[in-house]
Amino acid sequence: MAEPLPKRPQSAVALAYNNGDPAPKVVAKGKGLIAAQIIERAKDAGVFVHESKELVALLMGVDLDRQIPPGLYRAIAELLAWLYHIEAAQAAGGPLPAPPDAALFIDRPQEAADKDAINQ
């Protein structure tokens, strides 16, 4: 009998964005127990947690207290807009909006190069 594959440790990244900042910053990141603590603290603070393995994998490569790279601006902007819609829906007592698929908004340099080659 084949043994099940070992489960990869969970990863989590916390971002902070203040009005006036050029871009959001990575303020916490980790795997395993640290990831679980990041998620637990976010939920305890009433912060919505969005799951996107691809986005988290890219954000894990960003140093702590550093701004997100420009290739992730649109994906993060979509998530921030979603959070604002959640807050508005909660205030109005309406239904919560569905989360965006942030992976659709990640700028991938290779894909852009491939599109340019096709369009020539």
- Count structural domains, the chain: 1
Q: Are 105 and 78 in contact (CB under 8 A)?
A: yes
Phi and psi at residue 96, in whole multiples of 5°? -80, 140
Any domain includes 31 = yes
Q: What three-state secondary structure class fits 56?
A: helix
Q: Are 17 and 25 in contact (CB under 8 A)?
A: yes
**What is the β-pairing status of strands 11-16 and 25-31?**
antiparallel
CATH of the domain at 18: 3.40.1690.10
Any domain includes 5 = no
Q: Which amino acid is at 36?
A: A
Q: pLDDT tens, position by position, for the chain (120 residues)?
A: 556 655 667 999 999 988 899 999 999 999 999 999 999 999 999 888 888 899 999 999 999 999 999 999 998 988 888 888 888 888 898 888 887 776 566 776 544 444 444 444
- Domain of residue 109 covers 11-119
Any domain includes 4 = no
Any domain includes 39 = yes
Determine the distance from the C-alpha atom of residue 120 to the mean position of all C-alpha atoms in its chain, rounded to a whole number.
33
Any domain includes 56 = yes
User: 13 forms bridges with which residues in the sheet?
Assistant: 29
